[in-house]
Structure 1
Amino acid sequence: MAYRTIKQFVDAATPEELFTGQWQNRPSLLDGYKPYLDDRWIEDCANAWKLWEKIVSLGYQDSHQRVHAHLHDKRTSPQPVTARPPSSRTVAGWILRRPGTLTETEQLRLKVVRTHCSELDALTGHVRSFATMLAERQGERLPDWLDAVRRDDLPSLHTLAAGIDRDRHAVIAGLTLPWSSGVVEGHVNRIKMLKRQVFGRAGFALLRKRVLMS
């Protein structure tokens, strides 16, 4: 261990190399803003102070030194310094939420994910298109949506499309008409709950009375 430490001091060309592996990879408040900084870097904006002021307005609550260190690493590193990738659950949340509810940072990070993964880019488009059909009752668009899904290499979504296609007319009606079976489903669930409560302890006559009187 002592030999390794001495060799590290001897081989270090710059002071920064002495800290390699000690703190650079630890999670920090800056992680969520690194995609934004990377995008601005690509656009030739490398002023650490201005970038720090911008992400502070987006909610960043840490020092200017971290931003400066991140940009310094990008300048001096032989390989690009990239932000930690988001988890699959986080990306799924970004895709399923209304686009207008995403913060600017979340929109930028989702944009980066979509740029680097064509499958997720296509999936995002299909999910949002279906959500629009559902919210605005545009059931007439369903056949075109199904055709668009089948043109992309998304096996899991193909399974969903096949299930929808088997009951296409009912799904189109559900996406178009203002009526809902929610009330009926609520009564069915209530009856099932009453049945479970007296299961094995009462016959049909008592169950009938409970259903009628509840």
Structure 2
Amino acid sequence: MERLIVSPQLLLIEAAARGRPPRCPDCATLGRRVHSSYWRMLGERPAIGRKLAIRLRVRRYFCDRKRCGRLTFVEQVEGLSERYRRASLGLKQWLRAVAVELGGRPGERLCRALNLQAGRTRLLELLEAPEVPARAPRVLGVDEFAFRKGRTYGTVLVDIEAATVVDVLPDRTSETFAAWLRDHPGVEVVCRDRATAYTKAVKEAAPDAIEVADRWHLLQNLGAAVEKTCQQHRACLRKQAEQDEPAEAPVVVLPMTVLPKTPIVDRTRDRYQDVHRLLKRGWTISTIGRHLQLDRKTVRRFRDTPLDELLACAKDFGAHRREQLRPFMPYLHIRFAAGITSGRQLFDEIDERGYTGSIQALRQYLARLREGTIEPVRADLPSPRRITSWIMRLRDALTELEEERLQDVKIACPDIARACDLARSFHDLLTNRRGQLLPEWIRQAEQNAPAPVRSFAGFLRQDLDAVTAGLTLEWSSGKVEGHVNKVKMLKRTMFGRASFRLLRIRILTHP
């Protein structure tokens, strides 16, 4: 160091390189003759709250090897400088860490606060994708993530044993995944959800690999089948409740029940008509999905589900917001029949009895009572989602009241009771890893289960080997789902302005 210049905002160090003669970067010949010297500026990490810069004098050497195409080369200070860089190696590591964590614009704002000179373009230039290993990991997890939900999707590949992202693919097609498996052999176990594209790719490119269906997705699909069963047999619960209702309970006289005029009901009816109109023309599900900008699963649901059931689901949309009001509905109907229709007065009365919800929910319910868009409720009927939660949870996690109400539901509807028994036996197979008993469970479900559970059993039979492995082996897609959540976080921090290349680099470099 030759000189130190101190100012209120900047520390400037003037120094000269005094190391051993360097070697030519092309032919590694030791430099012996000095050509010239010059000054170069290097940014460095701040010190004592001030910016720090180094004005470094370096020497240029001749390359004396005649066969080398390079005439001269410049010496570098080890641990400080490198070719074509105006920042020290230490500062470069700092900036790269900021870019990995925050990206461009947020990283630029942090650099200004830390007295680091770096724009968003410079930060992004420091990001380089790590090299993908030539061989695939032994246990590979694969799942999709959305670039734009409902439109475009990508694929993330995870090493399950190391819990790290291996690579990111630009789409979720079977061809792209199969090509990756061919270029990176060595996979022995593939953990996946029930996406058919990934199954097809594994069978084509890695036929010897063991496919493992994810257990969480299996429970999710089973829960959807149970909830659909509860929705279809809601009339059984209502009939049982009417039989148990005392004869002296006052009845609310209402007009004929009609569906409420809500946007979601109108949208459901219009969407059902559009899907079936295009189906009559011979359009495929994929073509209809692209035309109406819907997912294929949504189009398939509107094709296979009756309109009445779709409208019932749309009518009950947001029912979870009224769960706090549901225990007080019989009392409200009694008071409404007695002529007490003031929302404020009824709110004060049920508030004294333990109501913890909002007055807006009460007023909306009273408005539907006046319009005749709901039936008079004399008993507290549990919603299909609540019944499903009682069935899918462990018995030890249920309270005594919940267990009693579930028993009442099972007594009122044998189909729900059968779905409950099958769901709990499947949960027992999954928890205790008894995959060898799965064929017997499927046979029982296909014989006397409700239609939604029977359909779920049919899907399991089509993917029997992977589901059996999922109920037997220790591997699952849990770590993959964690990385998918991390991808969503990175997308939000980049405000949707990231190209696939930049997003892939951030996913691969983010710890």
| TM-score, normalised with respect to structure 1 | 0.54
Q: Which amino acid aligns with 1:103?
A: T
Contact 1:198–1:207 (8 Å) recurs in 2: no
Contact 2:387–2:406 (8 Å) recurs in 1: yes
1:131-182 CA-partner distances (Å, limit 9, x unpaired): 1111111111111110111111411112211111111111111111112232
Q: CA deviation at 1:200?
A: 5.3
- The residue matched to 1:114 in structure 2 has which SS? helix
Q: Which amino acid aligns with 2:440?
A: D
Alignment RMSD (CA, Å): 3.1
Partner of 2:459 in structure 1?
163
1:78-129 CA-partner distances (Å, limit 9, x unpaired): xxxxx82532333222212211222223222222221221101100101100
**1:47-66 equivalence runs, <5 A:** none
Structure (1/2) with the larger strand percentage: 2
Partner of 1:21 in structure 2?
250
Partner of 1:131 in structure 2?
427
Runs (4+) off by over 4 Å? 191-196, 198-201
- The residue matched to 2:469 in structure 1 has which SS? helix
Contact 2:390–2:402 (8 Å) recurs in 1: yes
- The residue matched to 1:21 in structure 2 has which SS? coil
| Correspondent of 1:202 among 492, 499, 502 | 499
Query: Structure 1 stretch 102-111 or stretch 126-135: which is displaced more?
Result: 102-111
Structure (1/2) with the larger helix percentage: 1
**1:1-214 equivalence runs, <5 A:** 21=250, 25-26=330-331, 84-88=379-383, 89-188=385-484, 190-191=486-487, 194=490, 197=494, 201-202=498-499, 204=501, 206-214=502-510
Contact 2:429–2:471 (8 Å) recurs in 1: yes
1:43-81 CA-partner distances (Å, limit 9, x unpaired): xxxxxxxxxxxxxxxxxx9xxxxxxxxxxxxxxxxxxxx
Counterparts in 2 of 1:86 and 1:211: CA distance versus 1, 3 Å: same
Partner of 2:67 in structure 1?
none
Counterparts in 2 of 1:156 and 1:20: CA distance versus 1, 3 Å: closer
User: Please, which runs of 5 or more residues in structure 1 have no aligned partner?
Assistant: 1-16, 28-60, 62-82
- The residue matched to 1:26 in structure 2 has which SS? helix
Measure the CA separation in 2 of the matches of 1:202 and 1:106.
50
1:22-43 CA-partner distances (Å, limit 9, x unpaired): 9xx417xxxxxxxxxxxxxxxx
Measure the CA separation in 1 of the matches of 2:508 and 2:473.
31
Q: Which amino acid aligns with 1:130?
A: F
Q: Which amino acid aligns with 2:388?
A: A
Counterparts in 2 of 1:92 and 1:199: CA distance versus 1, 3 Å: closer
Q: Which amino acid aligns with 1:116?
A: A
Contact 1:149–1:157 (8 Å) recurs in 2: yes
Contact 1:91–1:110 (8 Å) recurs in 2: yes
Alignment: residue pair count: 140
Counterparts in 2 of 1:129 and 1:200: CA distance versus 1, 3 Å: same
User: Please, which runs of 5 or more residues in structure 2 have no aligned partner?
Assistant: 1-246, 252-329, 333-353, 355-377
Q: Between the two structures, name the one with larger relative contact order (CA 8 Å, sep ≥ 6).
A: 2
Contact 1:134–1:175 (8 Å) recurs in 2: yes
Structure (1 or 2) with the larger CA radius of gyration = 2
Contact 2:487–2:507 (8 Å) recurs in 1: yes
Counterparts in 2 of 1:129 and 1:209: CA distance versus 1, 3 Å: same
